[in-house]
Structure 1
Amino acid sequence: MKYAVIASLLMTSLSLAHAADATKAKEIMSKSDCAACHSVDQKMVGPSFHEIAAKYKGDKSAEDKLIKKVKSGGSGAWGPVPMPAHPQLSDADTKTLVDWVLADASAK
């Protein structure tokens, strides 16, 4: 019984932490231009966050790749339309966004 209570408390803490991360990521997104090209679950100019999460699922280097892509921009991975660079985003904010997307933003 004691272990069940501890496990429940840990799960609640993790859920709250993920909710806080999602809230922070959405706040960062609202202050940037991400939503001009991306949505959580529908392809727009760029892929949806759900598609990005699915493509990189299980890729241990995905976080680093996507942080560099967001900061530097790029093209070719999802078609001919280039993604502009976002050097104005801090490293911490970029990591928060990327981690949220890779955790499958559509599930949040």
Structure 2
Amino acid sequence: MMRPSLQRVPASSAAARLGCRAYALLFDDIDTRLCPADQEIFGSPGRAQVALTNEIYQALGCPETFLFCPTEYCASRAVPNVAKSTYLATLGTDLTQGRSILSPHRLLI
């Protein structure tokens, strides 16, 4: 099954027309289970979030300020831990460069 594409959000979106130049995509404190269709397409929550984040980032014209908050935003949320988390490893290798990763408490990168 092919991954459906998002309807492109042009850089001249309503938010941009109103002067928005900074964006944030926040996946903190959400359910990590994927529906069966998304599981078949993406295989993991990390890959699903990376695909969505990269597509939105590019659709917005790669804004200078684009923050991303991962679901596993701190050690107590990392499964099984920060060093062995496949979710965090996926983010580290597959997210398009150019955004900051943050936690609800402080900037991580």
After TM superposition, is the score higher than 0.5? no
Q: Provide the TM-score with structure 2 as the length reference.
A: 0.28
* More helix, by proportion: 1
Q: Provide the TM-score with structure 1 as the length reference.
A: 0.28
Tell me which structure has the larger Cα radius of gyration.
Answer: 1
